[in-house]
Amino acid sequence: MQALGIFSRISAATTSTARLTSFSASKTAALRITSLSRHFSTTPHIMAPISKETDLLVIGGGSGGLGCARMASGKFGAKAMIVEAGRLGGTCVNVGCVPKKVTFNAAAIAEAIHDSKAYGFSVQETKPFDFTTFKHKRDAYVKRLNDIYERNLANDKVEYVHGWARLLSKNEVEITLDDGTKTTVRANKILVAVGGEPTKPTSSIPGAELGTNSDGFFDIETLPKKVAIVGAGYIAVEFAGMLNALGSETHLFIRHKTFLRAFDPMIQEGVTNEYERLGVHLHKESAQTKIEKDPSTGKLTIHYKEGNGEGKLEDVDHLIWAIGRTPMTKNIGLEEAGVKLDEKGYIVTDEFQNSSVDNIFALGDVSGRVELTPVAIAAGRRLAERLYGGEQFRAARIDYSNIPSVVFAHPEVGSIGLTEPQAEEQYGRENLKIYKTSFTAMYYAMMEPEDKGPTKYKVICAGPEEKVVGLHIMGLGSGEMLQGFGVAIKMGATKKDLDSCIAIHPTSAEELVTLR
């Protein structure tokens, strides 16, 4: 508002002086001042009139919704509208992949500084890691991405409405705008791509609300001295690895003896053991019973059961619940429109992203298939092709098999295809051949034994042709490495194909083409 006041005074002065100059000069100055005022103002811009009808209305401005709307309009000329109540980019850009990877990079630099001593460097830090400055720069980067998404929508002529959308029927959506006014839009087709939100802890734990969730992790302003994380999925594991590397005393509470339980047993056991070696305090077979807060210090005390005993963790700066995500399918009119949900609240869809109601589609995290950003983008683009691309795209859909995924743990994890238990169930143990290797990457050659991290690879082959049906890797560089192997496996690679590729030496990846 102060900026507005300054520019109001400038504008008034300009108007007074303009009487002594030509009309054209006055008009030019006023336009420049108005432009500057809009640039610096923090008040919302005046919305253009909202269309009453559109070809495609997308509810949710995350990766999948953006991918579908932009292709429908920008490539195929459909009239598209996207409605988002939060920030553009969805979970990935704002509270997921993007800020997570930036934080992982910071943790990797911290590890490199520590490792540099083994290579003869003498790195002296003049002050501790400035987490607050890092956090604000990370926020600014995300904000730039938000702005880029908005510009891209404009470039592709997608009508962007900031508000809350609710289905009224299979062709009507009510939008509540930021000022509280409501408008109804008719659409030939509606895509629901609203994503998910962090799962809340059970209300049976007194004081559970004193913790934050996985979204709230990115609001933390200062590096915690002591942090407790609850969860065994990739979000919890990534948070624990990053905070431990950055210097926080990190406690990870899991319900079983290992974490990442959706991954191959080699990954589960290998990364769990490595976290213990790195100093993460693992509380296995644990459950929280009560959370308390000291009103004088703001510190938390966590009471818990672990195995057959009980314990408490005191002086905790932050408790982070990272126990999964829940689809945001409540209060958006799905039931009223007749859209079928499953027992977990996900929208039931077929392989073409069709819901149970004609003209209503769903994709991304809200449909509960593979909850990864690139999957949502691909599904959105294939849907736009099928709906608006003509006969050549009539059967366009995403293939949900053999989707590569990476966990930015410590070390990194990569996985594609079937785990060993899944392969046994599908093909039978007698029809499988498992190739495994475990070694120390050359990066650790100069380090003491206690500072050397593990590298483990597994290739699962099925049938007489030894088709690769699963590949699982953990170790330095696994995230980048998996993309190339993912292409090969998607194309139906066999063990013979891997063997025929000349190794790149010296690399860790060469082990995957020299397995015996």
Tell me the per-residue pLDDT of 393-450, one tens digit each, with 9 for 90 and over: 999 999 999 999 999 999 999 999 999 999 999 999 999 999 999 999 999 999 999 9
Residue 38, pLDDT > 80, answer: no
Residue 161 is predicted with a pLDDT of 98
Nearby residues of 385 by Cβ (< 8 Å), 6 or more positions away: 71, 76, 393, 396
Task: Give burial (CB, 10 Å; 0-12/13-18/19+) of 26.
Answer: middle
Q: Look over the chain and give the mean of its residue pLDDT values, rounded to a whole number.
A: 92
pLDDT band at 8; cut points 50, 70, 90: very low
Report how far apart, in Å, the C-alpha atoms of 366 and of each of 13, 92, 359, 396, 433 are. Answer: 54, 14, 17, 20, 37
Q: 1-6 long-range CB contacts below 8 Å, 24 or more apart?
A: 1/42, 3/37, 3/40, 3/41, 3/42, 4/37, 4/40, 4/41, 4/43
Residue 401 is predicted with a pLDDT of 96
CA atoms within 13 A on the CB side of 162: 13
Residue 232 is predicted with a pLDDT of 98
Residue 125 is predicted with a pLDDT of 85
Nearest by Cα to 339 from 352, 330, 326, 348 = 348
Residue 187 is predicted with a pLDDT of 98
CB 141 within 8 A of CB 470: no
Distance between CA atoms of 332 and 131, rounded to whole angstroms? 38
Tens-digit pLDDT profile for residues 104-152: 999 999 999 999 999 999 988 889 999 999 999 999 999 999 999 999 9
Residue 124 is predicted with a pLDDT of 86
Mean pLDDT score, 451-458: 97
- Record the pTM: 0.89
Residue 377, pLDDT > 50, answer: yes
As annotated, the active-site residues are: 505
pLDDT band at 47; cut points 50, 70, 90: low
- Joined together, the tokens standing for residue 196 give 């998910």
Residue 32, pLDDT > 90, answer: no
